Structure 1
Amino acid sequence: MRKAVILSLCVLIAPAASAQSFGDFLRGVLGNETEEETTSQTSNFNISASDADAGLRQALTIGAQAVGQQLSQYNGYFGDGDIRIPLPGRLGELQSQLSRLGLSGPLDDLQERMNHAAEDAAPYAADLVVDAVSSITMGDALEILNGGDTAATNYLRGRTEADLVVLVEPYMRSALEDSGALTMVDSVAGRYGLQSLSGDLRDQLIDHAVERGLDGLFFYLAKEEQEIRSNPVKRSTDLLRRVFGG
């Protein structure tokens, strides 16, 4: 209450004081609290729009490259419980039912091959994300910079995911073919009386692998952004240190 009264009085006398002297007066009356709050709320607004734009692009590029390398390792998807890709639809239901009887081996194998295909496609997907970073506009840069700790990733995903699905699909299809997953779909369909659905199951598997593969990539890209924002050690360039501090 005391602070509210003092602030009201300050408003009345503000015209008689310069901006600098008024700021000094506030700090003298309210102490360090006002100074600290003001600094925390406006620190990033001292950065130029061009630096904010370039810094965000660099952070996302470095992050996407790191995530692409991480996910492309053997078991990058399959060995990670946070992003392991389950089988879609009817295949997943059948796998769950048969696992209770210890008979889900062929479907477990299919799931593993699908995840390894996602690992093979990860570097291509990461490169496409890096290309998509160009969609960030300078006008949005400062707002993103001062947003939440995954604001840049959320913005990028919202603006580019639909296009990325289309661009990633050929790489994922090729990886699924090379892994033997698509051939195994036909084998599984024959084994479990789903021959009439074989073509649909293939398309389902491809679409699902693309969607969940991108989920995994953005999941870790968000973590990379959080690290760059919060951990000075992750700010590996002068530009990142200038934009994010440290």
Structure 2
Amino acid sequence: MTKYHNVRDQLLDRLDQMSAGDPFPPERDLSQELGVSRMTLRRAIDELVARGAVRRRHGAGVFALGPKLDQPLLASSFSEDMRARGMRPGARILAFDVLAAGARFGRRLNMDPLAEITRVTRLRLADDEPIAVEELNVPRDLMPDLVAADLEDHSFYDLLRERLGISVRRSVQTIEPTVLDSDEARDLHVPLHSPALMFERTSWGPEGQPIEFVRSLYRGDRYKIRTELTVPTITAEETS
């Protein structure tokens, strides 16, 4: 193992004992403590920044980000997911519009392109930290009285149950890597072109009615995907 890799691993061990927002010691002190040059230390920290384990703040130092939030591939709302982690979910409205669905959203929601949808763009928060930018598209006739205030710090799925007595029964979701544009980076408090995970999800209700099409951008430095894989059991008959 090279000296650089050894330093990186020592920093990772240190991070295991730190909380989000805790600072590293000053660069000069840390390099002396680890017995390496400041150049080697910077290289190791650069990798931790790229991994999303720490953040540099110009003129202030290097700070721990805490462990990434892992997203299980289950049908649950952002609010439910955050509460299950013991975190406080939140949402701030960035835009609220009523407009024609158009060809793309008409296909997604199985509706006439000229029919109206309600589009709500929200900044999703966990313990007041920006985590994702979410664009929610809902058929206007499903919930014609929906207003922006309804979704400020409130789950859309909870709203469906409370007002209409319905729940999501099926969803199809895709996930792909992307980078953030200037507006998205500004809202999420990260640099331009930072890595992100883009989720696109279409959901249907118990009668097969389209409920939503959602496009969400999650910070790549704060989110990861978790899947549970089961190895099938091979019987004696199958091996014979």
Alignment TM-score > 0.5, same fold: no
The structure whose residues are more often helix, as a share, is: 1
Query: Structure with the greater relative contact order (CA < 8 A, sep ≥ 6): 1 or 2?
Result: 1
TM-score (norm 2): 0.32
Which structure has the greater CA radius of gyration? 1
TM-score (norm 1): 0.31
The structure whose residues are more often strand, as a share, is: 2
